[in-house]
A and B are shown apart, each in its own frame.
Chain A
């Protein structure tokens, strides 16, 4: 046991140093090299359990510098991306491999914008099905998928973000729809439970096969908390399936 303790102590210290290195490495800075997904597996001294064979079972799908550079070049030179990102500051925060089975097939990049930006576009997040949907939404960050085999972008996934308190963006739905949907969202029990001064902020409108006329998501919030209320724009009713209270950690 003593030997184990000593070894474990050393290991934990190594792990702590590795974590410390991660902290240093993760400090974002525009103009510096883009950080890759974590550099490799941790030390593996204490294997819990009876193994059924040797080996660590750790996969190595590390991107080469050339692959990273190629992916970044594809992102930066893509016309569609250029159109979406036009006029906004964006940064590639993290880049790493996409795998399919045990094959490294591409690169995933996490893009972050300086603040929330409004997007309206047709997105094809899934490779290679051709599935797409129309969305109009506030975005703070998004994922871009590059197929290195075809040297092209095969997926864009904007992550729904918080709407700013004030905005010059024209509502993507009619003023009548907006007013009615906002009123419905504020009347939902989750919104009423938030007490006084509850505000409804349009966060996103998705147009999918299930909601061809659109489903609008309102972020309703007050000092007491927040919730997401989804409204079917065709029937102008709350879609409870997508309506939920939202916890938020202290920022």
Chain B
């Protein structure tokens, strides 16, 4: 590598002179950009980008993009399959099916349609999955805007076979929760759900011992301390899963739909215990994930070595899921914390919606978000992390390829400085994550 690479990659450790140079570069760049942003991130740690587990196959996104009909809702192979059972209680043409007219991302979602006036006229699906006592359930939901129609969409989840967490959209478009076997309650204050709009609804802060949880909508807490509903069987949801259905319980002949989409059915909660890869890079100006990978691309050593990871992003146009295996390569590299050369795999993942391959705002132009880390370089991959050093590495690499960089210029409030013991999502054994990040992301200008 050339001198520029070395300076960037090791700037903090080359001495005061280099530090001063870097500081001046930062100041000069700050003068023209990055003052504000509408970029919104989801996490209980506020403005931290939340990224799901590094190297994981842990999170399976049920996006309904796979499966051929209403009885075969499925997730993208080969990650696995969610066992969705489609049941139709109702009369007339009540249905649960894949719909291509409404979708949060991709091209399809699950639609529950009810058109009969009476109680318990439902079309519904049930998914079971193995995560016991999850700390987080989330999904996207949308209701139809048919005038005069009050078909209600319900989503209910459980995680221990003894309690249920439920929300529904009730008459007048109010989000309600159930806190006992019979009665629904408005949130306080009442949260209005508008038709024909996707909402990101979460059950967070789930305390299985106290049997309480919080409800969030689009990242905002709308109700705390919601009691779970005790019970061991809810329409067949007898152990662990999530169910959703439409019903018309207002005797107005129904005729409306309720959609759900993009349900991570296995995964960690949005907390520091679940975060593994902080966002450390922003490729801006005219970036696309494909362009970034044209510059920094080695493929991946094998499927084992680079599994898909996921990020959740929002720049004002709604929540965006994206998955990426990233690009990964073996390097013998100097790690400042160890003060030594170590065999590692350098690993970069980049995220942007599939539909456009980039996000955009007035300040950054077209941009994508990147996460960086090192994996231990033997066959065992005994640890990973050192995100800040990996950020420096990739910034230097991009710079050596002729791209302009501004190191550590955007503050993402994702500082960490510890070793986190996690369960490796593939091998199921404890793994150490060297979670080092200074809280700032480096910008790479992609023309």
Question: A57 to chain B: which residues have CB within 8 Å?
Answer: 43, 45-48, 413-414
In angstroms, how far is the closest chain B Cβ from the Cβ of A19?
Answer: 5
Are A19 and B12 CB-contacts (below 8 A) given A96-B419, A112-B338? yes
How many A-B pairs have beta carbons closer than 8 Å: the answer is 243
Q: Is A99 an interface residue (CB 8 A)?
A: yes
Question: A126 to chain B: which residues have CB within 8 Å?
Answer: 429-432
A208 to B382, CA, bound (A): 13
Residue in B27, B272, B304 whose CB lies within 8 Å of A59: B272
Question: A249 to chain B: which residues have CB within 8 Å?
Answer: 1, 5-6, 9, 331-334
The digit string for B406-417, where 1 denotes a CB below 8 A from any CB of A, is 001011111111
Are A140 and B341 CB-contacts (below 8 A) given A12-B26, A99-B419, A246-B331? yes
Q: Is A86 an interface residue (CB 8 A)?
A: no
Question: B377 to chain A: which residues have CB within 8 Å?
Answer: 159-160, 228
Q: Which residue of chain B is the closest to A46 with respect to CB atoms?
A: B411
Question: B414 to chain A: which residues have CB within 8 Å?
Answer: 57
Are A49 and B37 CB-contacts (below 8 A) given A5-B31, A159-B342, A249-B1? yes
Main secondary structure of the interface of A (DSSP, over half): mixed
In angstroms, how far is the closest chain A Cβ from the Cβ of B325?
Answer: 15
Question: B379 to chain A: which residues have CB within 8 Å?
Answer: 206, 208, 215, 217, 230, 239, 242
In angstroms, how far is the closest chain B Cβ from the Cβ of A181?
Answer: 15
Q: Is B15 an interface residue (CB 8 A)?
A: yes
Among B94-102, B136-144, B436-444, the stretch that binds chain A is: B436-444
Question: A16 to chain B: which residues have CB within 8 Å?
Answer: 19-20, 22-23, 26
Residue in B19, B46, B304 whose CB lies within 8 Å of A52: B46
A246, B330: Cβ atoms closer than 8 Å: yes
B304, A241: Cβ atoms closer than 8 Å: yes
In angstroms, how far is the closest chain B Cβ from the Cβ of A251?
Answer: 7
Question: A33 to chain B: which residues have CB within 8 Å?
Answer: none
Instruction: Count A-side interface residues using an 8 Å CB cutoff.
Output: 87
Q: Is B294 an interface residue (CB 8 A)?
A: no
A37, B341: Cβ atoms closer than 8 Å: no
The digit string for B346-362, where 1 denotes a CB below 8 A from any CB of A, is 00000000000000000
Q: Is A93 an interface residue (CB 8 A)?
A: yes
The digit string for B115-156, where 1 denotes a CB below 8 A from any CB of A, is 000000000000000000000000000000000000000000
A5, B30: Cβ atoms closer than 8 Å: yes
Q: Is A58 an interface residue (CB 8 A)?
A: yes
Q: Is B336 an interface residue (CB 8 A)?
A: yes
A1 to B337, CA, bound (A): 37
A12, B378: Cβ atoms closer than 8 Å: no
Question: B19 to chain A: which residues have CB within 8 Å?
Answer: 16, 19-20, 23
Are A58 and B432 CB-contacts (below 8 A) given A26-B13, A241-B301? no
Q: Which residue of chain A is the closest to B440 with respect to CB atoms?
A: A42
A160, B343: Cβ atoms closer than 8 Å: yes
The digit string for A11-44, where 1 denotes a CB below 8 A from any CB of B, is 0110110011011001010000000011011101
A16 to B41, CA, bound (A): 27
A99, B421: Cβ atoms closer than 8 Å: yes
In angstroms, how far is the closest chain A Cβ from the Cβ of B221?
Answer: 8
Question: A85 to chain B: which residues have CB within 8 Å?
Answer: none
In angstroms, how far is the closest chain B Cβ from the Cβ of A219?
Answer: 9
A160 to B41, CA, bound (A): 38
A129, B27: Cβ atoms closer than 8 Å: no
Tell me the A162-185 residues at the B interface (CB within 8 Å). 162
Interface centre among A96, A101, A250 (most CB of B within 10 A): A101
Q: Is A8 an interface residue (CB 8 A)?
A: yes
Q: Is B36 an interface residue (CB 8 A)?
A: yes
A208 to B380, CA, bound (A): 9
Among A64-72, A102-110, A193-201, the stretch that binds chain B is: A102-110
Tell me the B274-289 residues at the A interface (CB within 8 Å). none
A216 to B258, CA, bound (A): 57
Q: Is A145 an interface residue (CB 8 A)?
A: yes
In angstroms, how far is the closest chain B Cβ from the Cβ of A247?
Answer: 5
A50 to B434, CA, bound (A): 28
Are A129 and B429 CB-contacts (below 8 A) given A19-B19, A206-B378? yes
Question: B418 to chain A: which residues have CB within 8 Å?
Answer: 37, 59, 61, 96-99
B332, A247: Cβ atoms closer than 8 Å: yes
The digit string for B173-192, where 1 denotes a CB below 8 A from any CB of A, is 00000000000000000000
- List residues of A whose CB falls within 8 A of some B CB: 1, 4-5, 8-9, 12-13, 15-16, 19-20, 22-23, 26, 28, 37-38, 40-42, 44-59, 61, 93-94, 96-102, 105, 108, 110, 112, 125-129, 131, 133, 140-141, 143, 145, 155, 157, 159-162, 204, 206, 208, 215, 217, 226, 228, 230, 239-242, 244-251
Listed A/B pairs (5) with beta-carbon separation below 8 Å = A26-B336, A93-B337, A93-B339, A145-B432, A249-B5
- List residues of B whose CB falls within 8 A of some A CB: 1, 5-6, 9, 12-13, 15-16, 19-20, 22-23, 26-27, 30-31, 34-43, 45-48, 219-221, 271-273, 301-302, 304-305, 329-334, 336-343, 376-380, 382-383, 408, 410-421, 429-432, 434, 436, 438-440
